[in-house]
Amino acid sequence: MALFAYRAVDAEGNLSSGNLDAVNSVDLELRLKRLGLDLVTFEAARKSVAARTRRVSREELITFCFHLSQLLRAGVNILEALTDLRDSLENAGFKQVVASLIEDIEGGQKLSEAMAHHPYIFDGVFVSLVSAGEKSGNLTEVLDELSENIKWQDEMSSQAKKALVYPAIVFVVVIAVIFVLMTFLVPQLASAFKTLSPKLPKETEALLFISSVFVRWWYLLLGIPFVAAAAVWIMSRTDDRTRRRIDLVALKIPVLGPIRQKIILARFSTFFAMLYRSGISVLECISICEKIVGNRVMEEGLQRVGRGISEGQGITQAFTATKLFPPLVIRMLRVGESTGGLDSALLNVSYFYNRQVRESIARMQQLLGPATTVVLGVLIGGILYAVFLPIYDVIGNIGKTMR
């Protein structure tokens, strides 16, 4: 399907415009007819417009899952439930997506098949779970689980952002203070230093040299980090080896690396358990989870696990062979495999790592305040020490001559 920007009129002659998914112009006209609109003009929407109109927040997706689950549980059929949801949505782009779901279901498709046409909103895990719920007759339970899981993702994302906001602010403040001192204060004092003492201390000479670098090459000092970051970002998007190296480093960075790994393991365990509980095979669960871990190293590890299981290895043996999963995960997989409760075992893993992530982030936030204060104090203290050292030397020399 493609996204079309259209202009249409309703029965009262009111002009409206928007964006709607359709196979072609004929399909677009039919879809608008069912919405009570007559097509006037249309054109293929640009990518930027498509991205903007297809943006759906986690809160909107949580509300969608919850309301659809409640309506289906109350005995409302799927088409009526989606129609009610479409009429209650405020997001115009999401409203058009739900309208498209209604059209596809009326055309004979299942809900999961209709959702698969909109991967920018309903990812592979979402579609697979809905499909499993349709096959097993437990669609309402699956929607409830999806709603809870999206809430969990939102919470984890919020915690990760909280952990990074304070260090980022402090880092910017530190850089700004250093630039002000080096480009304004120290140069103004340089001539005074040379007047006070013909031979400056080594610390002060080093400070003056660094200050001259800041004054002369300030644009490079500011620009190079941004250019380097942009180059790394572009290479990570275009070169697999660069992306893999970055993902490997992300797992090994002190403090942040272990937290990142725990978040990945919690996400993997949660989704694997949900998929497996819904009746999806182990190999399919692993294949789907490869796309959601968000780390190339872990993705390759899951690919090796899938190959090992398909070649006849046990689940625990295949996970152990990757050497990427910690003992807790291996132990719980062994217990789940031997008892037949693989989903329960993985949910225990998810609970454990979720708790550890929360505690680690809270602990890191508590330590970051004092640590950044100390760093800022040491930097400013070192600069002030080099600034006042010549003055102390002059005062000392005056004292000696007076004696």
Task: Record the tokens describing residue 310, joined without a space.
Answer: 């398909």
Give exposure, 200-213, as e/b (b: 16+ Cβ within 10 Å): bbeebeebbeebee
What are the tokens at 243?
A: 């992306």
Of all residues in the chain, the percent with pLDDT exceeding 70 is: 89
Higher confidence at residue 400 or residue 187?
187
Q: Which pTM value belongs to this model? A: 0.68
What's the mean pLDDT in 325-349? 87
The pLDDT score that the predictor gives to residue 393 is 65
> Hey, how many other C-beta atoms are within 10 angstroms of the C-beta on 117?
17
Nearest Cα residue to 89 out of 97, 100, 79, 77: 97
pLDDT recorded at residue 14: 79
pLDDT at 10: 79
Mean pLDDT of the residues in the chain? 80
Q: Higher model confidence: residue 21 or residue 186?
A: 186
DSSP string computed for 358-399: HHHHHHHHHHHHHHHHHHHHHHHHHHHHHHHHHHHHHHHHHH
How far apart are the C-alpha atoms of 2 and 117, rounded to whole Å? 10
| Of 11-20, 230-239, 253-262, the least confident | 11-20
Q: Which amino acid is residue 339, in one-letter code? A: T
Neighbour tally for 306: CB within 10 Å: 19
CA 188 to chain centre: 45
pLDDT of residue 87: 81
51 pLDDT tier (thresholds 50, 70, 90): very low
Q: In whole angstroms, what is the distance from residue 249 CA to residue 372 CA? A: 23
Look up tokens 């899981």; give the residue.
149
Return the higher-pLDDT residue of 172 and 303. Answer: 303
Place of tokens 């002190």: 254
pLDDT at 24 over 60: yes
Q: Looking at residues 140-157, what average pLDDT do you find?
A: 82
Which is more confident, 55 or 54? 55
User: What is the arrangement of strands in the sheet containing 38-44, beginning at the earlier edge strand?
Assistant: 15-22, 2-9, 38-44
Asked if 221 and 178 touch (Cβ cutoff 8 Å), the reply is: no
Helix orientation angle between 282-289 and 296-310, rounded to the nearest 10 degrees: 160
What's the confidence (pLDDT) of residue 197?
64
Residues 6+ apart with CB under 8 A from 135: 279
Q: How confident is the model at residue 54 (pLDDT cuts 50, 70, 90)?
A: low
d(CA 192, CA 235): 48
Q: What value does the mean pLDDT take over residues 162-183?
A: 77
The amino acid sitting at 100 is: S
What's the distance, CA 148 to chain centroid? Answer: 18
Cα–Cα distance measured from residue 42 to residue 7, given in angstroms and rounded to the nearest whole number: 6
Query: Is it the case that residue 368 has pLDDT exceeding 60?
Result: yes
Report the range out of 25-34, 169-178, 268-277 with the highest average pLDDT: 268-277
Nearest to 57 by CA among 141, 144, 150, 159: 150
372-401 confidence digits (pLDDT tens): 778 778 877 887 777 777 766 666 655 555
Instruction: Determine contact, residues 53/32, Cβ cutoff 8 Å.
Output: no
Question: Residues of the chain with pLDDT > 90: what percent?
Answer: 1
Confidence tier at 52 by pLDDT (50, 70, 90): very low
Question: Tokens in use for 277?
Answer: 């509980």
What is the per-residue pLDDT across 55-111, written as a single tens digit (0 to 9) for each?
Answer: 788 888 888 989 999 998 888 888 889 888 888 888 877 887 888 888 888 888 899
N-terminal to C-terminal alpha carbon distance within the chain: 93
Q: How much is the pLDDT for 49?
A: 44
Q: What is the average pLDDT across 303-323?
A: 89
